[in-house]
């Protein structure tokens, strides 16, 4: 593993597959022009709309999203994370999985994760979210994508960030980079997003790559933004703010090794 640039894309996705994929392609190309070799797209990057619309369109969205990820990874010769998109559940037509997929430069899927923690929350701003109504939770802990070039990558999605045991599992399996693509609500994001990401980086001495959604998507659906890249000491290396764009920063194996040597907390764990 040598130092390389990673990009956490920030989007304002809509209930419009074609619009979203065009926006994503433009941002991927921009990240490639800036030298990124690992590029992450946020949760719901290919479709962010009402739940009933998502379920109705899930077969088409899932098919086109997978095709898009493989095409973009091959065209730009990068490793590409599709941070979350609906994928139909054949035995339950009223639900879809929330899938994260990591694709190699040759178009092969390196890893796939079905979101296990579902966001069923009454937020104090008056919005109610019931992800479990239309999303079928995965049953398996995420696995590690091992890469000599990019480091070992652990997959997760959005609400997972509030469950540190998932990331402890990933670090115990050898993760160097934790990817946390999200569509974090505007209300919770202002208080919790940054500190949760830093905590996951610090306690696991891993880089964190956190693509994000931002702005207004439809009606009262607003997201926080601030796609970030954070180093193993908790230092914010890149913050996309509130506009469509990206955070881009270097992933450096020497920095990773130095932090783990200076703060060997993973070696001091008592309860595994």
**Hey, which residues are catalytic here?**
43, 115, 158
Distance CA 10, CA 246 (A): 5
Q: Which residues is 96 bridged to in the sheet?
A: 88, 135
Look at residue 258 and give its three-state secondary structure.
Answer: helix
Distance CA 30, CA 10 (A): 12
What DSSP line would sit under 64-126, residue for residue?
Answer: HHHHHHHHHHHHHT-EEEEEEEEEE-TT-TT-EEEEEEEE-TTS-EEEEEE--S--EEE-TTS
Distance CA 64, CA 42 (A): 16
Distance CA 218, CA 23 (A): 16
What DSSP line would sit under 126-179, residue for residue?
Answer: S-EEEGGGTBPPP-SPPPEE--TTT--EEE--GGGGG-HHHHHHHHHTT-SEEE
């Amino acid at each position: 593993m040598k130092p390389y640039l990673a990009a956490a894309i920030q989007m304002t996705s809509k209930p419009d597959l074609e619009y979203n994929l065009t926006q994503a392609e433009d941002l991927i190309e921009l990240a490639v022009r800036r030298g990124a070799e690992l590029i992450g797209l946020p949760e719901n990057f290919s479709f962010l709309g009402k739940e009933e619309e998502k379920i109705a369109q899930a077969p088409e969205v899932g098919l086109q999203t997978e095709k898009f990820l493989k095409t973009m990874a091959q065209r730009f010769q990068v490793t590409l994370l599709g941070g979350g998109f609906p994928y139909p559940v054949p035995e339950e037509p009223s639900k879809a999985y929330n899938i994260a997929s990591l694709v190699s430069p040759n178009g092969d899927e390196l890893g796939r994760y079905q979101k296990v923690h579902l966001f069923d929350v009454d937020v104090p701003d008056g919005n109610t979210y019931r992800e479990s109504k239309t999303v079928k939770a995965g049953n398996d802990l995420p696995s590690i994508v091992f890469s000599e070039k990019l480091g070992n990558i652990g997959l997760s999605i959005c609400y997972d960030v509030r469950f540190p045991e998932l990331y402890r599992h990933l670090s115990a399996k050898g993760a160097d980079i934790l990817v946390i693509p999200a569509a974090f609500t505007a209300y919770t994001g202002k208080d919790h997003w940054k500190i949760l990401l830093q905590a996951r980086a610090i306690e696991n001495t891993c880089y964190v790559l956190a693509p994000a959604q931002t702005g207004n998507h439809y009606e009262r659906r607003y997201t926080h933004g601030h796609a970030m890249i954070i180093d193993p000491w908790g230092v914010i290396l890149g913050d996309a703010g509130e506009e469509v764009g990206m955070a881009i920063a270097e992933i450096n194996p020497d920095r990773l090794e130095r932090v783990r040597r200076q703060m060997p907390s993973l070696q001091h764990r008592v309860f595994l």
